[in-house]
Every structure is written in structure tokens, then in C-alpha cells.
Amino acid sequence: MEQVTVIKIGGNIIDNDAALAQFLKAFAATPGKKVLIHGGGKLATRLADKLEVPQQMIDGRRITDAETLRIVTMVYAGFINKNIVAQLQAAGVNAIGLSGADGNLVLAHKRTGAAHDYGFVGDIDAVNTSLLHQLLENDNTVVVAPITHDAKGQLLNTNADTMAQAIAQSIAAHYQVNLVYSFEKSGVLRNADDDTTVIPKIDPATYTQLKEEGAIFAGMIPKLDNAFAALTKGVNRVIIGNAQHLPQLIEGTSGTSIVHE
């Protein structure tokens, strides 16, 4: 079965032009079919400040009111997505940039039942696997922005980590899929302030123990939940680590490997 590498890029890498360029150079050199899902970085927050649109965060998650939705759509599906596509084209990669709203790529519904009202935040219902398969078979590298829609005309802001997991598992029936979560940290850390405390491998039992010990910082838990969900839905391998070490992450010689057992 042919291999596809699905990579999510986020964190401070998006905000650093030099770091992003270095990552995209390594991504372009990655052999085989590939999909890139990107986050939004801090540009949306800076633009909101300039437009005097107040921003509210709960546990690190953005509250997406109507005005904020306009901003994140412009930033994520506009500038960031097309900037990445342009750099990949310059590197010889035939990249096509989409949001979840394009081609019904990712359908979602507005989140309900949460302890807080997150506004126009979407939880994923379906991925257009046939479109992804068609694009990949035509040798397109797909670059996805985390904006979705609900099939009723409403755009939604959706977590990029969850987008990566949903996209990876959607194509697992057609390809051997490796999922990489890349950001500015070296992996899952025992001490969030010490990049040398990387945990090289985490299985479900270890994950439970680490959470009970409070050894994983809160922002990493949703990423790990997505990683284990992907493995249960047919994804071959999941690794979390530093975007600047992308070749080593793909080889499995760096970062934290997430495994069944």
C-alpha cells in the first residue's frame, strides 16, 4: 500500500518566517504523497487587536464570535494558506490550498453542549475522502486551512489538530498513513519548560499514568487524544515533535512516538 504523510504544522513556527521557510523546505523534500494541515499562529490575534475586535480565550482555546470568525477566515484560509502554497510551489511542489469549506472537504457542526459557548467553533462530522484521494492520485500536495462549514452556509473555526486526525484516518483505507504533529517543542515533555525531557514513546497505559501524575501539560492532552484516536481508526503511525527536525520525525528517530501498546 502506498504511503501518505499527513503533517500538522502549528505553534510558533507559523509566526516565524525563517522557521516556516526551513520547515517548508524540509516538507518539500519529503518523498511521496503528502498533506499539510496548518494552524493559524498569532497573526489572527494581532489583526484582531488592530481592528479593535476583543479576543477571549478559555483554556487556550479561542472564542470565535462573528467578527473573530471573519478575521480567522481571512488569516487562516487566506494569507497563511496561500503563503504556504506559494513557498511550496517555489520549491517545486505542486501544492493546492484548500479550507475545509472547499469541495466539501470537511463538514462540521457548531459545537454544542460544552461547558462554555465557544461561538462559531466546529466539530467534525465528515471528510470528503474521495476528493482527497483524487487530488493525491493526481500528484497534488494538499494544504488545508482549519476553516470548515456546516452545509447550511455557516463557516466554522475548527481545531487544526483534530482536522489532521480526521483527514489522516479518512484516507487510511487507501494508503499507509503516517501522521506527524510538528511544532516548536521537541516532543511530549515531562517538564514543559525543559526541551530535554522528551518522552520517546507513549502507549495508552503510559498516557493514563502520565495524566494521573500531572506529568503532561494541559495543552498537549488534546493533541495526544487525537493521536490515539487516529491509531484506532487505521493510521499507521503518529509522532509528535519539533518541526525543525522533520526528516528525523518522519524516520522515527526524533520526537515522541504514539503507539497502540
Mark the ranges of the chain whose per-residue pLDDT is less than 70: 59-60, 218
**Whole-number pLDDT of residue 180:** 97
CATH code where residue 200 lies: 3.40.1160.10
**Whole-number pLDDT of residue 258:** 94
DSSP character at residue 198: B
Cα→Cα distances 78→21, 74, 122, 136, Å: 18, 5, 19, 22
Tell me how far apart the 2 most distant CA atoms of the chain are, in Å: 51
**Whole-number pLDDT of residue 215:** 80
**Whole-number pLDDT of residue 126:** 97
**Which pairing describes strands 95-99 and 106-110: parallel, antiparallel, or unpaired?**
unpaired
**Whole-number pLDDT of residue 59:** 64
Query: In angstroms, rounded to a whole number, what is the distance separating the alpha carbons of residues 98 and 52?
Result: 28
Per residue in 102-129, pLDDT (tens digit) is 999 999 999 987 777 889 999 999 999 9
**Whole-number pLDDT of residue 60:** 62
DSSP-assigned beta bridge partners for residue 240: 181, 256
Query: Is residue 214 left, alpha or beta, with left meaning phi > 0 and alpha meaning psi from -120 to 50?
Result: left
**Whole-number pLDDT of residue 203:** 92
* Domain assignment of residue 164, given as a range: 3-258
Number of domains in the chain: 1
What's the angle, vertex CA 64, arms to CA 242 and CA 57, rounded to 5? 60
Per residue in 143-185, pLDDT (tens digit) is 999 999 999 999 999 999 999 999 999 999 999 999 999 999 9
pTM across the whole model: 0.94
